[in-house]
Amino acid sequence: MELIDEARAAGARLTPACQMLGLSQRTYLRWTEEGAVRTDRRPEIERPTPPHALSPAEVQEVLDACHAPAHADLPPAQIVARLLDENGRYIASESTFYRILRRHREQHRRGRARVPAPQARPTTYRADAPCQVWSWDVTWLAGPARGTFFYLFLILDLFSRKIVGWEVEEAETAAAAARVVERAVLAENCIDHPLVLHADNGSPLKGATLLETLRRLEIEPSFSRPRVSDDNAFSEALFRTCKYVPDYPREGFADLDAARSWVRTFVAWYNEEHRHSALRYVTPQQRHNGSEARILADRQRVYDQARADKPARWSGATRAWTPVGSVWLNPERDPSTDT
């Protein structure tokens, strides 16, 4: 501070004088608030050792305790407790043990437990047309009594968001899942067509019966990463739409036929009438059968004509009624956006 004050008295400006000493102007002002010089808090400054810090001999004592054969497979919390019980010996706290082990690169997993394996990134798939990437899952539908459920299988086409296959079953089995897939493939006439079917890690969706069916139909299975809840977001969003429509029976379905009848009505409404917000508000069926571009072009012409009729009401461009294009499953994330 004295050097900066001396430089300023000689005619130097504050900012260059601070830069010469590795300070910012704001730091100088903060240190000299109310005329009192503050403590130097720059991270690169060498500070004196605190009086309560462990001596080198005490640090070595901690390491020796951790290196003892009786403590080879124990964490610091166990070691500290055993030293206290065996001979009333206290060296340092548990956190100090951990800090010293980390400093000496000795903080590793002990015992026979496996080291957590890093999870590989999920495979990225892109749907440019219908029947390229499907997503599916199973949800529970409440039955007539508390604790009883029916199981709804839904297969969703990622490109068009159309429900291409569904079934309500009394049991959640791989055999039932295989039947749903076979019916969907036949209904969409995509036998021997390259197709990816994405699912979570539920056992019915990974059973041997189902996997054999997928192999026979030449469908590539794809699965969510373990313990990752948002790798199957398309199907989860569909289930939310299904269970939040106004006529969803909150008290449960009387029987299996009632559940199937309601789901049949929902699927018809969803595919044929529901304007999907992710598809520029066209129905999944319109995007699936290729009429999306014509419908959106008609909307754009109406908007353009409305602006031409009364341009004073438009301060900028009109809404862009253009098709959304490709849909990605697990898209690669741009590293520059990571925080």
Per-residue pLDDT of the chain (339 residues; tens, 9 = 90+): 889 989 999 999 999 999 888 888 888 888 887 666 566 666 667 777 778 888 899 999 999 999 999 988 888 999 999 999 988 889 999 999 999 999 999 887 766 777 777 767 778 899 999 999 999 999 999 999 988 999 999 999 999 999 999 999 999 998 999 999 999 999 999 887 889 999 888 778 888 888 899 999 989 998 887 666 667 889 999 999 999 999 999 899 999 999 999 999 999 999 999 999 999 999 999 999 999 999 999 999 999 999 999 988 888 888 889 999 999 988 776 544 444
Residue 51: inside a domain = no
Query: What gap in Å lies between CA 339 and CA 335, rounded to an integer?
Result: 9
Torsion angle of C-alpha atoms 77, 81, 83, 84, degrees rounded to 10: 140
Output the domain CATH number for residue 206. 3.30.420.10
CB 331 within 8 A of CB 133: no
Q: Are residues 162 and 259 in the same domain?
A: yes
Residues 6+ apart with CB under 8 A from 57: none
Residue 111: inside a domain = no
CB 152 within 8 A of CB 170: no
What integer pLDDT is reported at residue 333 of this predicted model?
Answer: 60
Q: Are residues 246 and 145 in the same domain?
A: yes
What integer pLDDT is reported at residue 335 of this predicted model?
Answer: 45
Which pair of structure tokens corresponds to residue 169?
A: 């079953």
Torsion angle of C-alpha atoms 175, 179, 181, 183, degrees rounded to 10: 180
Residue 46: inside a domain = no
Q: Are residues 87 and 198 in the same domain?
A: no
Domain extent at residue 209: 125-279
Q: Are residues 99 and 132 in the same domain?
A: no
Q: Are residues 212 and 273 in the same domain?
A: yes
Query: What gap in Å lies between CA 218 and CA 3, rounded to an integer?
Result: 78
CB atoms within 10 A of CB 69: 6
What integer pLDDT is reported at residue 37 of this predicted model?
Answer: 59
Distances (CA, A) of 127 to 132, 166, 180, 285, 331: 6, 21, 21, 16, 11
What integer pLDDT is reported at residue 339 of this predicted model?
Answer: 40
**142 SS3 class:** strand
- pTM score: 0.65
